Amino acid sequence: MSLKHQVARQARAGDETDDPADMTQQSRPVYLRLRDQIAAAIIEGEYPEGEMLPSVRAFAAEQGANPLTVAKAYQQFQADGLVEVQRGVGMYVVAGAAERLRRAEREHFLAEEWPELRARMARLGIEPADLFERG
């Protein structure tokens, strides 16, 4: 068996523990998973600007989640002004949301994640150049 370190699979409430000997799994909360999923969809134009996002109920049914959980994921986008809420109608992607989102995530990645990622790669003996040479 392999070493099981810093994996981050998903095994949240309601899931069965497939491995009784190892119950130490930090699972990503559902609403954060959904949030990332939606963010990626917006950036990639899957939800075009000006278009309506799936309703919380529809998206919840599609993802097998609770509408409240979906609402929690959506909430962060409206808090950031990336979607406009028309109560009783739906939530619409505002103009420039995709670019703003990409810019913000890009900045966050370069400033926060990359440094420690680079240190970790160095520790593991991985050269950054190697990663882009292979397919």
Location of structure tokens 């099981």: 4
Q: Which does 112 bind (CB under 5 to 8 A by kind): its own copies, DNA, none?
A: its own copies
Counting contacts by CB under 7 A, is residue 104 touching DNA?
A: no
Of all residues in the chain, what percent are helix, strand and coil, respectively (each to 5)? 50, 5, 40
Nearest approach, Cβ of residue 102 and its own copies (Å): 6
The closest of 107, 76, 83 to 97, measured between CA atoms, is: 83
Counting contacts by CB under 8 A, is residue 33 touching its own copies?
A: no
Applying the rule CB under 7 A, the residues between 34 and 63 that interact with DNA are: 53-58
Q: Which does 56 bind (CB under 5 to 8 A by kind): DNA, its own copies, none?
A: DNA
